[in-house]
A and B are shown apart, each in its own frame.
Chain A
Amino acid sequence: MKRIARFFWLASVAVLPLVGCYDETSAISTDVSSLDLRMGYQLVGTSKGTTVKGYLHGPGADPRLVEGDRLELRTPIGVVPLAVIDGEFSLELPPAGGDYELALVRAPGRGGDLSQKYFLAPPFAVRAPVTASRAAALTVDWDPAPGPHRTQLTVRGPCVALVTRDLAGDVGSYRFNPYELSSSAVAPGSCTVTIGITKGALLAGGYAVATQSASTTLEMTP
């Protein structure tokens, strides 16, 4: 009788250290299904280089890639392994256009590989006269490239309101008609304006995921 009572007393004491509650999703990638992962990235290219920023999130804590799981970026100039820190990654690459693919390569039995592929337009240059009058026609030229990207032209400066033109294709040239810019004047006199071209892929909602940009400046007179 005393032994039995002692047994239950010891069992009760043994339970006490187990008190302390948690319910957490594992952060080890082997414990995370591909179907529960979310990943994405953004490419921002210029003539100086390409900036890559992205994320890899799990259902709970951000997963730590182990045991055959790896994240890599397949670029036109080679495959770059990515280090994920706190669910995010970023890196700088030399300027290059073409197909980029973010790939999560997984060992068998973890839900399969994941990938996202974007096209980045090649680097280019924008050309415009050194000076231009708002009252006269202005032609802007740039290097066109084939591809599925959209092309957007912007003009901004202290003496003109932001002018945006979404172009039907990457045609390599745009002509502002006389007074097309003067109607956007917000201040008298001359100023330095920046003319920019952005070629990019847009997701739903207008979020740019792969943009190649170039710009030039000119002195704009009344």
Chain B
Amino acid sequence: MRPFFFGAALAAMLLACSSSASANPLGTGWHTWDEVRFGLRGETYAGTRREGAGSVARLRLGGADFELVARRFFAGPIGVSFALAFLPPFDAFDGISYLRGDLSLDAGLFRWNGKVPGAFIVGAGFGGDLGRYSFAGRFYPRLEARLRLRPSEHVGLFVATDVMPAALGPDDRVVQVRTELGFSWRLLIVSLRVGHAIMTGGNPERTYVQQELGLYAGVGLM
């Protein structure tokens, strides 16, 4: 499995570095490679989940994922984005292994120049995940909104929210919202992500909620 990690990391680095050649300062045009990054995210999540037919279990657990994100505009402000989060099922990671993949069609709605150039991008697509979370094992539609700012040549900021309003797979109805606040300096990226998953179902019907807080560190290009 290790060669796979190194291969994925190397691929992400190469993509990031190769994209730098085609990158334009934000605000003067849509990047061909808008974003490519690879990193590690550590997270803790807490809340409730359904146990059995309709009982409540309370949890506070942690996890970690390797994460690969690639966004590319191919026709002006129209592009695609792909995200893969994964933690292989090593023995040491029993119960927290995870796989998630998202694919979206993006549209850059606004971009501006000025003292702090930036862009606002929305996306719609689908994804699926497996493992770790009580609500995982699902296929879902996905909506995303992303605000990016570049206060200086080497510094970037972004705020992104993605919403998964429904899910196919779990017995319960699942709605998940995740918001990420990120900062980049040259090729280094760190971010803080807050997530909420709301599950409704069971007998008696209850609403179960899990909150997630995660920190990400990676390399790439914004």
| Residues of chain A having any CB pair with chain B under 8 Å | 1, 4, 8, 11-12, 15, 18-26, 31-33, 35-36, 58-60, 109-111
Inter-chain contact total with CB atoms closer than 8 Å: 80
Nearest A residue (CB) for B190: A8
- Residue in A8, A12, A22, A31 whose beta carbon sits within 8 Å of that of B56 in the complex: A31
Which B157-171 residues have C-beta < 8 A from chain A? Answer: 157
Q: How far is the CB of A69 from chain B (nearest CB, A)?
A: 13
Contact B204 A111 (CB under 8 A): yes
Query: How far, in whole Å, are A66 and B213 apart by their CA atoms in the complex?
Result: 33
List residues of chain B with CB within 8 A of the CB of A33.
52-55, 202-204
Chain B: CB-nearest residue to A33 = B54
By beta carbon, the residue of chain A nearest B57 is A25
- Within the complex, the shortest CB–CB distance from B165 to chain A, in Å, comes to 26
A20 touches B60 (CB 8 A): yes
Return A146 CB to nearest CB of chain B, in Å: 39
Check if A26 sits within 8 Å of B204, measured CB to CB. no
- Highest count of chain A CB atoms <10 Å: which of B49, B55, B60, B204: B55
Shortest distance in angstroms between A176's beta carbon and chain B's nearest beta carbon? 53
Interface residues in B43-60 (C-beta closer than 8 Å to A): 44, 46, 49, 51-60
Q: Which B78-117 residues have C-beta < 8 A from chain A?
A: none
Give the residues in chain B near A20, CB-CB below 8 Å.
60
In the complex, whether B183 has a CB less than 8 A from a CB of chain A is: yes
**In the complex, what's the smallest C-beta–C-beta distance from A29 to chain B, in angstroms?**
10
Q: With the chains together, A23 CA to B48 CA distance in Å? A: 9
A35 pairs with B215, CB closer than 8 A: no
- Are B55 and A58 touching (Cβ within 8 A)? yes
- Known: A22-B60, A23-B59. Is A12-B204 also a contact (CB below 8 A)? no
Residue of A nearest to B49 (CB): A23
| Range of interface residues on B (Cβ < 8 Å) | 20 to 34
Does more than half of chain B's interface fall in helix, strand or loop, or is it mixed? strand
- Asked whether any CB of chain A lies closer than 8 Å to the CB of B192, the reply is yes
CB proximity to A under 8 Å, residues B16-62: 42, 44, 46, 49, 51-62
Assembled-state Cα–Cα distance A23/B183 (Å): 33
Residues of A close to B44: CB separation below 8 A: 15, 18-19
> Is B52's CB under 8 angstroms from A22's CB?
no
Q: By the criterion CB–CB under 8 Å, are B204 and A109 in contact?
A: yes
Contact A111 B51 (CB under 8 A): no
Task: Find out whether the CB atom of A18 lies under 8 angstroms from the CB atom of B60.
Answer: yes
Given contacts A4-B183, A18-B46, A33-B204, contact A24 B53 (CB under 8 A): no
Shortest distance in angstroms between A155's beta carbon and chain B's nearest beta carbon?
Answer: 48
A contact residues around B203 at 8 Å (CB):
33, 35, 111
Q: Is the CB of B54 within 8 A of A36?
A: yes
A213 to B157 Cα, complex, angstroms:
81
Q: Does B155 contact A (CB under 8 A)?
A: yes
Which of chain B's residues has its CB closest to A1's CB?
B155
Ordered by A's residue number, 9 sampled pairs between the chains whose C-beta atoms are within 8 Å are: A11-B192, A18-B62, A19-B44, A20-B60, A22-B61, A26-B57, A35-B53, A35-B54, A111-B54
Query: Which chain B residue shows the least CB distance to A17?
Result: B44
Given A21-B60, A111-B204; A32-B55 close (CB under 8 Å): yes
